Structures are given as structure tokens and as C-alpha cells.
Amino acid sequence: MEEELNNVSVSLKTEENEQKTPLHTRLQLAAAALGIICVVLVSVVISLGRHITTVMSEQRRDNISLTVDHLLLWKEKTDFERLTEKLARQRDGLNWTIGVIMEYESFPVHTHCPQKAWTFCDQNAF
């Protein structure tokens, strides 16, 4: 009879283990799946962080380059504005001089241009 009791207890333990095994296995599978999902999510977050850092670094570099280009163009524009003003003054002086020359039938070169070198005439001289 003791043998039967031992057999019964062994068979009961086996049946209990069989019933617990699927529950235990399901928990392990769920934990493993959650762990894999966490690893994938962390990998995606790290990858996105690196990508965003790279993009921001490129944008910062482009911004600095564009700022330098902007400053160079601004300086060039200012230089051209000064040159334009200088050329406008020279043009106005030449137009005045040609106006004075046109007043004469015959322009007295020896009087107004000694040594055959033309200089801008003083507007009060005529």
C-alpha cells in the first residue's frame, strides 16, 4: 500500500508540474518578448539620437558657412557701392568738363591744359 501511496504522490506531482509548466513557459516567453522589444526600442532610440546629432552638426556647419558667405557678400556689396559713388562723382566731373568744352567754338588747349595733360578743371575757373 505504501507503494501505491508513493506512486499516487509521484503521479500527482507530475500532473501538477505539467499544469504549471505551460504557465511558467508562457511567462518566460512573455518576458523574453518584452526584453527583445525593449532591446529593439533602445536600439532605435540610440540610432535616432545619433542621426539627429549628425543632422544638427551638418546644419550647424552649413549655417556657419552661409554666415561667412553672407559677410563676404555684404563686404563686397559695400565695396561696390563705394566704387559706384566714386565713378558717379568722376562721371559728373567729366560731364561738367565736357559742358565747359562745348561752350567754346574752339577750345584753347594751351590755356587750359598746360603740358598737354588734362586735369579736372576747377568749376570756379570758368
**Spans of the chain, pLDDT less than 70:** 1-23, 112, 114-126
Domain boundaries, the chain: 2-116
Dihedral angle of Cα 17, 21, 23, 27, to the nearest 10 degrees = 140
What is the per-residue pLDDT across 28-41, written as a single tens digit (0 to 9) for each? 999 999 999 999 99
- Residue 99, pLDDT score: 86
What is the per-residue pLDDT across 84-100, written as a single tens digit (0 to 9) for each? 999 999 999 999 888 88
Question: For residue 101, what are the contacts with CB-CB under 8 A and spacing of at least 6?
Answer: 107
The answer to whether 21 and 15 have CB atoms below 8 angstroms apart is no
